[in-house]
Amino acid sequence: MKISTKGRYALEAVLDLAVYSEVELESLNNISERLQISKNYLEQLFSVLRKKEIVASVRGAQGGYKLARSSKQITAGEVIRAVEGPLSPVSCIDEGKCNNTGEYKECVTRLLWQKMMDEINRAADGVTINDLVQSYGKMKKKDAIEYFI
């Protein structure tokens, strides 16, 4: 049961963008270089993120990306779901019907999977991009001190 590279890279890229676009727009080239993710792949992810109004782009020579909203108003869950779709551990709960021979309404495992999805969303929606930026700032500071020592 895994979240694909799409979800992982999207979240890392949005965090990176949030950190580096506070003053000026940021280019995908820079994000790509820092995160070691191909620019092509980032372009695909950002095109989805733009449609979901998580990031916004400005065209032109001085163009680039920034967050579409305040980092406090974007949750990690929103970013992951934008590229991964619903975070359901089984497909039957997205479709609302049993893919096997069973009766969906009478299936108890469906209730467990539903509950699992709720728990996944609860964890992912409990963290905003701003929380990640703050945490990243602290980690960077600590990293710098350790390096100095």
Partner 1 sequence: MKISTKGRYGLRAMIDLALYSNGTHVSLFSIAQRQGISGIYLEQVFATLRKAGLVKSVKGAQGGYLLCESPKDIKIGQILRSLEGDLSVIDENESQKAEDSLISACVKENVWDKINENINLLVDKVTLEDLIIEQKKLNEGSIPMFYI
| Residue ranges in contact with partner 1 by CB under 8 A | 1-5, 7-8, 11-12, 15-16, 19, 34-36, 76, 80, 84, 87-91, 100-102, 105-109, 111-113, 115-116, 119-120, 122-124, 126-127, 131-132, 135-136, 139-140, 143
Which CB atom, from 58 or from 85, has the smaller least distance to partner 1?
85
Beta strands in the chain (DSSP E): 55-58, 64-67
Q: Which residue has the tokens 């305040």?
A: 70
Strand, helix or coil at 61? coil
Cβ neighbourhood burial of 86 (10 Å; 0-12, 13-18, 19+): exposed
Which CB atom, from 51 or from 122, has the smaller least distance to partner 1?
122
CB 14 to partner 1: min, Å: 10
CB 109 to partner 1: min, Å: 5
**Phi, psi at 55, each rounded to 5°:** -120, 160
Token reading at 91: 């497909």
Which CB atom, from 58 or from 123, has the smaller least distance to partner 1?
123
Which CB atom, from 56 or from 117, has the smaller least distance to partner 1?
117
Report the distance separating Cα 43 and Cα 46, nearest Å.
Answer: 5
